[in-house]
Amino acid sequence: MSATNTAVQPPADAAAPVRHPEAPAPGEPVGSHYANCFGCGPDQPHGLHLAARAGEGVDITAEFTVRPEHQGAPGLAHGGVLATALDEALGALNWILRVISVTGRLETDYLRPVPVGSVLHLSARVTARAGRKIYATAEGRLDGPDGPVAVRADALFIEVKVDHFIENGRQEEIQAVMHDPDVRRQARAFEVNP
């Protein structure tokens, strides 16, 4: 299955992605970028609690357990929730590049229904970079990391400065994270100065 829009396919002159020298070692958890994130936040009671691990290249793996609250049809995961899981897995690549980027475009293919109770084995990797544009792809497999592909996505992420969040986020949450030493440490890790 190929993407339907050229925007998520790298141009011929795009550069190969480079694993940041201080990226988490292969197998290490990459951590959550925000404790209240719906995708990865440990403090988010409604969230997916995705915990990604660094791969050996510019890639990550993660598992997502589909719970009853994720249903769309009876006993089956909602497509939007699956897109969120793919988006979050792709977002975790930020830690491997040590770049802050946000989703510009996400194209999702749904190949098999995903039952409640199943574990979706996610993998994501950066395919290319061109200026601020980061091209990446992700897939989710059933029955183990080598099982059949149920969902996949191609994405274009756009690099942003930390100001993107400060200028656009609601003040209440921005002020809270600015006073959080964990966030300040993380911002340093990304070589930004909020």
Ligand X SMILES: CCCCC/C=C\C/C=C\C/C=C\C/C=C\CCCC(=O)SCCNC(=O)CCNC(=O)[C@H](O)C(C)(C)COP(=O)(O)OP(=O)(O)OC[C@H]1O[C@@H](n2cnc3c(N)ncnc32)[C@H](O)[C@@H]1OP(=O)(O)O
- Name the residues that contact ligand X, by CB under 6 A: 7, 33, 39, 87-88, 91, 94, 100, 102-105, 131-133, 156, 158, 160, 162, 165-166, 174, 177-178, 183, 186-187, 190, 194
The answer to whether residues 8 and 107 touch, using CB atoms and an 8 Å cutoff, is yes
Closest CA to 86 of 44, 137, 35, 156: 137
Between 11 and 26, name the residue whose CB sits nearer to ligand X: 11
Phi, psi of 7 (to 5 degrees): -60, -25
Between 3 and 7, name the residue whose CB sits nearer to ligand X: 7
Minimum distance of ligand X from residue 129's CB (angstroms): 12
Minimum distance of ligand X from residue 103's CB (angstroms): 4
Between 84 and 118, name the residue whose CB sits nearer to ligand X: 84
Determine the residue with CB nearest ligand X. Answer: 91
CA atoms of 148 and 28, how far apart (whole Å): 25
CA atoms of 74 and 72, how far apart (whole Å): 7
CA atoms of 135 and 103, how far apart (whole Å): 10
Minimum distance of ligand X from residue 174's CB (angstroms): 5
Between 50 and 150, name the residue whose CB sits nearer to ligand X: 50
Minimum distance of ligand X from residue 188's CB (angstroms): 9
Note the helical H segments in 73-162. Answer: 79-91, 94-97
